[in-house]
Amino acid sequence: MSTPLSVPRIRAPRTAKLGEIVEIRTLMEHPMETGLRMEAGRTVGRDMLTRMIVRANGEILLQAEFRNGTSANPYHVFFLKIAGTTDLDIIWLDESGRSAKAQARIAV
Amino acid sequence: MTQTSRRGFLIGAVALVTVPWEAIASDDAVVAAVREQIGAAEIIDGGIALRVPTVAENGGQVPVSILVDTPQNDESHAIAIHVFATRNPTPGVTSFRLSPKLARAEVQTRIRLAQDQQIIVLAQMNDGRVHRVVADIRVTTGGCLS
């Protein structure tokens, strides 16, 4: 459980026009083991992300709470209206206290 | 689909078709999961566009696209979106907390479904209203236990 989380990926445009609506995609490689699944007759240990927090220029834009029904390798898409150069900071947290971060800048 | 947990509730299978929400609501675990998120708030049907496949080949990765019919600004916006699966081992799937700074109340995600079932999406609005949409999904290969 002490291995670091994998490096998340964000897809966001590098530049945008003022007022433009941009699509942000995020992908985090993670097994999202619920502890319910069996493999070769044994239960696979629970290993889940709990949250993804998206900040734009320091302010929380979107927070996702993951429960058992979230797929492995959580993938999310959301939309942001550009009101100026935007620094996106996204953090993923897991149940054992590990975290992973990704950043992107959308320049106007 | 088992009827055991609904004994005394449904007269027959016809009721299952005509009053799907009551059929779902008889499932205690689903009701508990819903109430944990939205409390005692009354639920209004509609107001959410939900895009899901009618048949999910791989229950481990079912794409879900949710768009709440609201402007997303300080006066009027969705504050949260909750997703539940009625026949998963645990009905709670995911919740999203939305800022009015998002361009629109839209999120796309991927979920796990164990078997044929309904998914319920609830949207909580800043004025306290709660909207709901329900979709039936058939699942070819379950994505929870395999």
Q: Does B61 touch chain A (CB under 8 A)?
A: yes
B110 secondary structure, DSSP code:
E
pLDDT tens across the length of chain B (146 residues): 444 444 444 333 433 344 455 455 558 889 999 999 999 899 999 999 999 999 999 999 999 999 999 999 999 999 999 999 999 989 999 999 999 999 999 999 999 999 999 999 999 999 999 999 999 999 998 887 76
What pLDDT, on a 0 to 100 scale, did the predictor assign at position B28?
A: 86
Q: Does B62 touch chain A (CB under 8 A)?
A: yes
Distance from chain centroid for Cα B48: 11
Task: Provide the chain B residues 107-126 that lie in CB contact (below 8 A) with chain A.
Answer: 107-113
What pLDDT, on a 0 to 100 scale, did the predictor assign at position B144?
A: 75
- Domains of chain B are 41-141 (2.60.40.2470)
Q: Do A68 and B93 touch (CB under 8 A)?
A: yes
A48 CB-near residues (< 8 Å, 6+ apart): A32, A33, A34, A66, A68, A94, A95
- Give me the long-range contacts of B16-21 (CB less than 8 A, separation at least 24): B20/B118, B20/B134, B21/B45, B21/B134
Structure confidence by residue, pLDDT tens digits, A15-58: 999 999 999 999 999 999 988 888 888 888 889 999 999 999 99
What pLDDT, on a 0 to 100 scale, did the predictor assign at position B122?
A: 97
- Chain A residue with CA closest to B101: the answer is A61
> CA gyration radius for chain B?
15
Distance CA B90, CA A47 (A): 16
Superfamily of domain A9-106: Immunoglobulins (2.60.40.10)
Residue A60 has pLDDT above 90, yes or no: yes
What pLDDT, on a 0 to 100 scale, did the predictor assign at position B45?
A: 95
Q: Which of B51, B107, B109, B145 should one mutate to test binding to chain A, selecting the residue with the greatest count of A CBs within 10 A?
A: B109
Q: Does A81 touch chain B (CB under 8 A)?
A: yes
